[in-house]
Amino acid sequence: MTISSIFTFNFNKKIMKRKLFPLAFIIYPILFFSQVGINTQTPHPSSVLDIQSDTKGLVVPRLTTAAINTLAATASEGLIVFDKEKKSFFGWDGSKWQNLGYEEINTVPSATNATISGNYTIGSVLTGNYTFSDAESNPDNATTFIWRSADDVSGTNAVDILSATSQVLTLTVSEQNKYIQFCVTPGSSVGASPGLQKCSSWGGIVGANQAPTASAVSITGTSIQGQTLTGNYTYNDAEGNTQGTSTFRWTRSDDASGTNEATIAGATGLNYLLAAADVNKYIKFYVTPIAASGTLLGTETGSSYIGPVTLPSLISGDVFNEGFESGAANGYFTLATTSANANTGVVSGNSAAGWSPSNSPKFASGTRGYQFGGTSGATGANVVFLSPVIDATQYTNNMTFSMRVAAFGTSSGQGLDSGTNDNILVEVSSDGGSTYTTTLQQGGNSNANWAFSATGNATTTYGTNFSQNSGSGNNLATGPSTLSITGIPNTISQLRFRITVKHNQTAAQDEYWVIDDIKLVAP
């Protein structure tokens, strides 16, 4: 039995070119029985709702394209809407909208130019490339990918690589000695989809992870004793593995052919300071590249020889000038030892407002100095700087050593104390550092402090020993801010300097030495 007041509606299907999908439509909102007829007393037994009419139609929900796309998130399979912008019916198939009009209204997307980029070695990342096209400009948002491996470029024994379903592939040992192919099936969440699968050519063969290499190995700098050479190179790794801790060495030989080549002891950095032993020799730089992952150790590669190393043509002027401007205390002078209870480091800027002297530069020139203090409870904290061995015979007589010194307290009334506890000792050797004779020592005194602008000096001549304490009290205008040794002869072929800074802190840190501009000048 049907509802007594019923309407009739006929939905006429229209065929153009090929076929039109049938539309199965709306259920009347109130159902009293298993079948409902509108404008008919006898609904067809196969229908839930039978609408009959010779003059009217059925209107379904009319949405914009944007609203239909938003509706996709909650759509139920079988949902039908009308796109009032595209003038077409769409039905949700459970995963995407299907155009319910004529098939010719929308064409499937296509993929062209399928290629692979990347290095065919284990650990490398390959990238699949393609060009997506769609006649209706539908988005590329449902495209799928697969990767395959095979025994040769013809695809013999080709198999899909499991789980390789993205546009990139990281090669593993499973792919070693194989050839690789990338395939793309173009797809879109709207319109006709998917398109035909397209595959790249087979690429390979996949090799083992390659060791890093060093190229463009060279030396920059001037081959003159006392000058610093720098080793240069370019690190390379086929798989893109980053550089680990590569190692370096320097050698000296009798000629540019490498006769009697020998590794220089201790020369293991990128920089090398030419010494007296290098005069008339040829120098070479070697690097062994090391990767942080993958195959770690590469092959050692060397530069060309440079030389011969000559004596400096300069016979006057600065022999050295250590101002700590490189940001490290290992420029010309070597930081030989530092006790565990020392508090040291390169500094810049001014002292703090509460210090004494306050707001004073912690450098004599440039922008950096070297600050030294002890730690709480320290006894005999010290740091030792060593110069290289200097052949003074190439310079004029009466060479002068000098350095700048400042002393700071962390507040008024604090500073450097007795010279036996807090002092700076300069020593001179004529035998390359086996023994030291001439000494100059400057100590503190009763919480003394002064800035680099102080005008005092502590001076001695070569061959004598000299020691003094500063005046006591804060902010000494005549504090010994310059220490110097004069009359150093140019007859010494193994001249060397040693500087020891000592600090005997027994309470909370409240005092610092700062040194700068360590010079040797041949006037």
The pLDDT tens digits of the residues spanning 91-150 come to: 999 988 888 875 555 789 999 999 999 989 888 899 999 999 998 899 999 999 999 999
**463 Cβ contact list (under 8 Å, min separation 6):** 437, 438, 487
Distances (CA, A) of 431 to 157, 238, 390, 464: 76, 51, 10, 17
Q: Are strands 342-348 and 368-374 parallel, antiparallel or unpaired?
A: antiparallel
Q: Is the pLDDT of residue 4 over 70?
A: no
| pLDDT at residue 20 in the model | 39
- Token pair listed for 7: 């309407």
Residue 439, strand partner residues: 427, 465
| pLDDT at residue 32 in the model | 44
Element at 69 (helix H, strand E): helix 65-71
Dihedral (CA of 356, 379, 436, 252) sign: negative
- Distance from C-alpha of 147 to C-alpha of 169, rounded to nearest angstrom: 8
Rg of the chain over CA atoms, in angstroms?
43
CB 60 within 8 A of CB 25: yes
Main-chain dihedrals φ then ψ at residue 68, nearest 5 degrees: -65, -40
Vertex 486: Cα angle to 450 and 365 (nearest 5): 40
CB 151 within 8 A of CB 198: no
- Distance from C-alpha of 79 to C-alpha of 65, rounded to nearest angstrom: 15
Q: Are strands 496-503 and 381-386 parallel, antiparallel or unpaired?
A: antiparallel
Rounded to two decimals, the pTM is 0.44
- Among residues 502, 511, 515, the alpha carbon closest in space to that of 382 is found at 502
| pLDDT at residue 74 in the model | 92
- Token pair listed for 431: 């035998």
| pLDDT at residue 7 in the model | 35
| pLDDT at residue 469 in the model | 92
Where b means 16+ CB within 10 Å and e means fewer, 48-71 reads ebbbbeeeeeeeeeebeeeebeeb
CB 188 within 8 A of CB 142: yes
**160 Cβ contact list (under 8 Å, min separation 6):** 146, 147, 148
Q: Is the pLDDT of residue 212 over 90?
A: yes
- Among residues 144, 225, 224, the alpha carbon closest in space to that of 182 is found at 144
Residues 449-474 have pLDDT tens digits of 999 999 999 999 999 999 999 988 88
Give the rounded percent of residues in the chain with a pLDDT score beyond 90: 57
- Distance from C-alpha of 354 to C-alpha of 343, rounded to nearest angstrom: 20
Instruction: For residue 486, give the 3-state DSSP assignment.
Output: strand
Q: Is the pLDDT of residue 507 over 70?
A: no
- Token pair listed for 9: 């509606």
CB 231 within 8 A of CB 306: no
Q: What is the mean pLDDT of the chain?
A: 86
Residues 315-370 have pLDDT tens digits of 678 888 899 988 776 678 888 888 777 778 899 999 999 899 999 999 999 999 99
Q: Are strands 456-461 and 480-488 parallel, antiparallel or unpaired?
A: parallel
| pLDDT at residue 200 in the model | 97
**340 Cβ contact list (under 8 Å, min separation 6):** none
Instruction: For residue 174, give the 3-state DSSP assignment.
Output: helix
Weakest-pLDDT range from 67-76, 328-337, 346-355, 419-428: 328-337
- Distance from C-alpha of 373 to C-alpha of 386, rounded to nearest angstrom: 19
- Among residues 401, 404, 402, 396, the alpha carbon closest in space to that of 523 is found at 396
Q: Is the pLDDT of residue 9 over 50?
A: no
CA 253 to chain centre: 37
Please state, as a whole number, how many other Cβ atoms lie within 10 Å of the Cβ of residue 16: 11
Give the mean model confidence (pLDDT) for residues 476-493.
93
CB 422 within 8 A of CB 513: yes
| pLDDT at residue 279 in the model | 92
